[in-house]
């Protein structure tokens, strides 16, 4: 049976490491890392994410700054706040909570973030550098970085292995595939137009699934002994849960457990890693800006 890759445990280890370094930095040079979060509109899920990010910052000693703008704000107003944070020396990371309201151009807004403070790693320059050989981005997007960190910390060998990423979104699938390739895996990408996806996934020593489709990946899709990282977070009806639903990944967990050598559960796998990576990116940024080793 597959070993369970415990994202909660690993994320707590990383948070402890970040907290230690934040304290050390404050003591040595008097600098406290700062993260600014810009939220536009009043989506409940986005509000929850922003609240969790703030709480996580507090827990490790990172200072957080928050701007809430109304749904009908203009692009210029959002950009004005970004530019202020770009120029604010107490802010080392700037995060614009996505999705933005439909009337805004996401690229214009993400472009305004100083790449030195782009802790989400969504600036086109950072993504471009991630795609280029011999170049490194200043920041790597948090969710795919969390997937890689789980692989590293579980001693999974990546070099020379076959990896398959399911999904090609800008925030998860595409950067995950680029990261695996940078780590010298041979990478295939499966997406909504792929015919016979199971023929591709069955080749893979490492599967990262980020499709957002419950029960997409069956046990028969998994090569025996593969490592499975399930990024999906999908609500499914559940009359027994007080909320009327529960969250599952993209992978049929029980089926995959009998095939894989290791697997992330949902919840408690990749989910907690995303915020841990955001904290670690913010610390990294403060260290770089202040030339602190
Ligand atoms: P998205 O909808 O932007 O992208 C989904 C991708 O999957 C697309 O590229 C699409 O081509 C592909 N896809 C869709 N249906 C498919 C199918 N049947 N077969 C193969 N490929 C298919 O989603 P996203 O933002 O990348 O998120 C993906 C999932 O990961 C969601 O469940 C989301 O909730 C979850 N997620 C989790 C975290 C986290 O753990 N912190 C962060 C971001 C997203």
Q: Are 219 and 258 in contact (CB under 8 A)?
A: yes
Residue 53: active-site member: yes
pLDDT at 196: 98
Domain residue limits, the chain: 32-113, 142-271
Q: How far is residue 98 CA from its own chain's centroid?
A: 13
Read off the pLDDT of each residue in 209-228 and give the average, rounded to a whole number: 98
For residue 277, give the nearest of 176, 189, 191, 182 by alpha carbon: 176
Reported confidence tier of residue 192, pLDDT bands at 50, 70, 90 = very high
Q: What is the pLDDT of residue 261?
A: 98
Residue 195 token pair? 């015919």
Q: Which CATH class is domain 32-113?
A: alpha beta
- Nearest-CA residue for ligand 1 atom 3 is 169
For residues 173 and 166, give the distance between their C-alpha atoms in angstroms, rounded to a whole number.
Answer: 7
Helices (H), the chain: 7-29, 44-60, 75-86, 106-112, 124-131, 142-153, 173-182, 197-201, 253-257, 271-289
**Is 118 labeled as catalytic in the residue annotation?**
no
User: What's the CATH architecture for 142-271?
Assistant: 3-Layer(aba) Sandwich (3.40)
- Identify the pLDDT of residue 246: 96
- Complex prediction ipTM: 0.99
Q: Which of 15, 117, 118, 120 is catalytic?
A: 120
Q: What is the CA radius of gyration of the chain?
A: 19
Ligand 1 midpoint to CA 210 (Å): 4
Could you check whether 32-113 and 142-271 share the same CATH topology? yes
> How confident is the model over 107-151, as pLDDT tens digits?
999 999 999 999 999 999 999 999 999 999 999 999 999 999 999
Pocket lined around ligand 1, Cβ cut-off 6 Å: 143, 166-169, 171-173, 190-192, 194, 197, 210-213, 216, 231-234, 270-271, 274
Q: What is the pLDDT of residues 240-292, one digit of tens each?
A: 999 999 999 999 999 999 999 999 999 999 999 999 999 999 999 999 999 99
pLDDT given at position 292:
97
């Amino acid at each position: 049976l597959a070993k369970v890759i415990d994202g909660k445990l690993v994320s707590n280890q990383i948070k402890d490491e970040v907290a230690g370094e934040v304290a050390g930095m404050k003591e040595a040079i008097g600098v406290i890392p700062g993260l600014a979060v810009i939220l536009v509109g009043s989506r409940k899920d986005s509000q929850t994410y922003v609240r969790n990010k703030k709480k996580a910052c507090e827990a490790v000693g990172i200072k957080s700054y928050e701007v809430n703008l109304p749904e009908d704000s203009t692009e210029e107003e959002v950009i004005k706040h970004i530019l202020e944070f770009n120029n604010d020396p107490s802010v080392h990371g700037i995060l614009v909570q996505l999705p933005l309201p439909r009337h805004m151009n996401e690229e214009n807004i993400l472009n305004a973030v100083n790449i030195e403070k782009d802790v989400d790693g969504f600036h086109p320059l950072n993504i471009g550098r991630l795609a280029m050989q011999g170049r490194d981005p200043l920041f790597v997007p948090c969710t795919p970085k969390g997937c890689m960190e789980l692989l590293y910390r579980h001693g999974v060998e990546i070099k020379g292995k076959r990896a398959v990423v399911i999904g090609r979104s800008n925030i998860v699938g595409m950067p995950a595939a680029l990261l695996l390739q940078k780590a010298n895996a041979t990478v295939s990408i499966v997406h909504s137009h792929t015919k016979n996806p199971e023929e591709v996934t069955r080749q893979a020593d490492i599967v990262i699934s980020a499709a957002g489709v419950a029960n997409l990946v069956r046990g028969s899709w998994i090569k025996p002994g593969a490592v499975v990282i399930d990024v999906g977070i999908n609500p499914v009806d559940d009359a027994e849960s007080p909320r009327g639903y529960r969250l599952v990944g993209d992978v049929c967990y029980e089926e995959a457990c009998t095939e894989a050598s290791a697997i992330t559960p949902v919840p408690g796998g990749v989910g907690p890693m995303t915020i841990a990576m955001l904290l670690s990116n913010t610390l990294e940024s403060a260290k770089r800006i202040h030339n602190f080793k």
